[in-house]
Structure 1
Amino acid sequence: MLLLHWLCDCPGRQEIQGSLKQVQKLLSSHEASYMQSLRNLKKKINLLLSSAARQNTKAINSTCPKLESPINGRKLGKSHSIGHEVHFLCDPGYELVGSESRVCQESLTWSGQQPTCRDINECASSPCLNGGTCVDEVNQFSCVCAKGWAGVTCQSPVPTFFVTMTNTSAATSPSTAAAASTLPAATTGPYVRPSRCTIVQGTTHCTCEPGYTISGRDSYTCTDIDECELFHNGQAGRLCLHACVNTPGGYRCSCPAGYNVTRDGRSCKDIDECATRINNCTKDQMCINTYGGFQCVRVDCPKIPNATYVKTSPMRCERNPCPVDNKACSHAPNSFSYHYLAVVSNLSAPRVMFRVSALRPIGDTLRFSLLGGRPVRRHFTVQRSDRLTGELMLASPVQGPATLEAEVEMSELERRVQLGKYITKVTMFVSQYEF
């Protein structure tokens, strides 16, 4: 009875075959799904490898197009690699219109717009004195003076004096009373001129050449007007940007070494010793033009224990890959970049001097900080302009001549863990002059 009961509970052959077919279908379905997932994964890996190869080739071999200096201006920065920044300045007499600096982006295009240098309207400050009319010209101006005035800015009077002479009617006959006769001069010399006097109907009229005036009670002697002393602080400012030299009947302006007098005769224009090769920099040095001079600089990669650096451009050093077990090397800066700025003395502050940006951030946070102690922080500070950019700010005006150095550290972090840091060293050459 037990045997018969057991045989009756066992499934039949057909049921077993049906179950096996269902298992076979299920395995086939899983196999197909697995193979499809594997193929999709291989495609994604291939795409990632191709993209990484393209980005690596692009980062190594590609640069942004060359930027030209604006007309009547100049460009600071020669590297066109991704992440590098180029600054623009205008010559004296011109103002910058457009982007003050441009960054080479990952798309191999420059940020911002190409700037231009626009001629400043020199007549805007009303430089012509005593009713003179200003005519604006390229990087200069000229004055059309009113009657009775002369000089570059109509600053010199052209005096006319009327002196009544005694007993002149008796010495003058009616036939010559209406005629003009020139009286003799008393004294001559470069700073003394005879006046021009005529007698008309018993009255003596005496005048001086432009730039001279009657000296005291002697109506026959004209002395030179010292325009440098008389007009050193006129309505339109000083006659000369730098130094005024009085000359017989006028004046001239002079400039310090390293500058040329501009066409208007009043201002000073910096001589670019680097462009004109008037410098003594060696082949392994870079020439940095400054206001009134130049500096020869040489960039050497820093020597840090457990880390080695190689120069990847004239002003950039990058760290070689670190061994896996060398933690000291991994904590050293990933790169050092060097930048040089030329500024005038007593530059108004606060103002942005340099920007540091991250084009391809790795972590979730960027942190910018100013390195150095109290002397550096007396002149500089660092602030954020956006999520990816830090700005080096000049905190207070600097009296030149001086050389200031600042280091900005940009750190990349992921959940407060540092992934890398990058040092930007900025050297600022301050001229002794305010132009």
Structure 2
Amino acid sequence: MLFEIRGFRFCSSARMLAALLFILLCVQPGHGQTCTEGFAYDRRARQCIDVDECRTLPDVCRGDMRCVNQNGGYLCIPRSLYNQPYRPAGPLPPEPAYPDSSVGFSDTFVPADPRSVEPSYPRVRSTAQCLLGYTAAEDGSCNDIDECETNSHHCNPTQVCINTLGGYTCSCTEGYWLIGGQCQDIDECRYGYCQQLCANVPGSYSCSCNPGFILNPDSRTCQDVDECEDEPCSHGCFNTYGSFMCNCDEGFELASDGTTCIDLDECSFSEFLCQHRCVNTPGSFSCICPPGYYVYEDGRSCEDSNECDTGNNTCTTAQVCFNFQGGYTCLDPLQCHPPYIEVSDNQCMCSAENPACRDKPFTILYRHMDLSSGRSVPADIFQMQATTRYPGAFYIFQIKSGNDGREFYMRQTSNVSATLVLSRPIKGPKEVVLDLEMVTVNNVINFRGSSIIRLTIFVSEHPF
């Protein structure tokens, strides 16, 4: 007996019936094959192959998103994360397009975890009790075969097998993405995952910070360290972003180590800082003056101490205290030597009636003055004038004695007065005694006489 089934004729023998069942299962597989979502059955290869959704689906990614095909699916990724255009899959697997780290994305981009999809292993509709990927249990039910556990999967060594109902799928662990069927390490350091320093390691990365910063608990961002809390400076400390600066109190300067403060020697800056002598002190300086002076209110100048006014002198009650710059002297009572007689406490006179007074000055007037050492010249220092005027008389002023070094000269300022001028500086301490003579000439009565001012000049030791 013959049977005609779909254009084929077979004998009714058992041998031919078995052949018919083989043909239904093997010769026409395309009528009973199904693949998981994202895969399509290739009749030539006789297996399920990946569907490139980026090429087959219209507008699969919207807006500024770019489609990247994956094994069994696809990803929509912002275009700004890529620095090279996407190249569709061809004979060679597409190279990964890395995100541009300049855009400042801080969140980690890792390909999406594989979706829970239908098994990638092809299912065959048959008259068998369980589908492929399942095994019959003793109770007649079908149990899923864990291909990952039984190591019956075909994932390559770089991939991770994930069991699904009736099949399995191949994916990558965190820190890797699937490119050309291979799991390749993601270089997280290229995408700005770390705020400062980044070290890429297989499947992960490690962040660290520059000196002056510490890593925050998020293991990505860095926080400034306040170095001033550890008091690294000997004086003052100012915290800066990532570092610190030391400053010093007034009168100190920062040493070469940047943290220690050393005393500033203000006295070395200028010899004119103090009028007399400068003494350096920690953080400052002080001026001192020689004996006979005190430091003025400005802290730098020296002012004469008037020992005669303060009573800080050794003069007796019979003596007269005379103060000069930087000191004093005790003047004994005036003693006039004969033929002179005392007419006042500072003047001696020689009477005209006394024959011994002939050719001698009529009076000697004693005066005292002080002068600073090295005083600038020329300088008018003393004036002299006639106190009594006679009709027809004229006066001549001159230095009679004491000007051995020619430091002085007389300049007549009128017919009855003259000025003593210092023409050369005199260094002290020194005592100079000058006899300044005023000659009176009267041709009408044929008279010629003179008077003397005995001027004692105390030149100080210092120029102040």
CA pair 169-316 structure 1, distance change in 2 beyond 3 A: same
Q: Percent identity?
A: 31
CA pair 404-366 structure 1, distance change in 2 beyond 3 A: same
1:66-145 to structure 2, matched below 5 A, reads none
What corresponds to 2:224 in structure 1?
177
Q: Tell me whether 1:167 sits opposite 2:214 in the alignment.
A: no
1:10-409 to structure 2, matched below 5 A, reads 167-170=211-214, 177=224, 181-185=228-232, 194-216=234-256, 218-229=257-268, 231-233=269-271, 238-304=272-338, 308-323=339-354, 326=355, 328-362=356-390, 364-372=393-401, 375-376=404-405, 378-409=406-437
CA pair 401-355 structure 1, distance change in 2 beyond 3 A: same
Deviation at 1:298, TM superposition (A): 2.4
**Aligned length in residues:** 251
Deviation at 1:348, TM superposition (A): 1.4
TM (normalized to structure 1)?
0.53
Q: Is the 8 A contact 1:344 1:434 kept in 2?
A: yes
Deviation at 1:361, TM superposition (A): 2.1
For 1:370 and 1:282, the matched residues in 2 are separated by 33
Q: Pick 1 or 2: higher relative contact order, CA cutoff 8 A, min separation 6.
A: 1
Q: Is the 8 A contact 2:367 2:456 kept in 1?
A: yes
Deviation at 1:330, TM superposition (A): 3.2
For 1:400 and 1:386, the matched residues in 2 are separated by 32
For 1:297 and 1:247, the matched residues in 2 are separated by 42
| Structure 2 gap segments, 5+ residues each | 1-208
Of Structure 1 and Structure 2, the greater helix share is in: 1
For 1:211 and 1:166, the matched residues in 2 are separated by 35
SS of match in other structure, 1:182: helix
Q: Is the 8 A contact 1:183 1:196 kept in 2?
A: no
For 2:216 and 2:309, the matched residues in 1 are separated by 71
SS of match in other structure, 2:307: coil
For 1:181 and 1:349, the matched residues in 2 are separated by 61
SS of match in other structure, 2:230: coil
For 2:345 and 2:210, the matched residues in 1 are separated by 84
Larger Rg over CA atoms: 2
> C-alpha offsets along residues 115-156 of structure 1, whole Å, 9 cap, x if unaligned?
xxxxxxxxxxxxxxxxxxxxxxxxxxxxxxxxxxxxxxxxxx
Deviation at 1:357, TM superposition (A): 1.0
Deviation at 1:198, TM superposition (A): 4.2
Q: Is the 8 A contact 2:212 2:224 kept in 1?
A: no
What corresponds to 1:81 in structure 2?
none
Q: Is the 8 A contact 1:182 1:198 kept in 2?
A: no
CA RMSD between the two structures: 2.6
Deviation at 1:391, TM superposition (A): 1.8
CA pair 166-403 structure 1, distance change in 2 beyond 3 A: farther
For 1:281 and 1:359, the matched residues in 2 are separated by 33
Deviation at 1:256, TM superposition (A): 1.0
For 1:434 and 1:205, the matched residues in 2 are separated by 46
TM (normalized to structure 2)?
0.50
**Residue identity opposite 1:223 in structure 2:** I
CA pair 373-408 structure 1, distance change in 2 beyond 3 A: closer
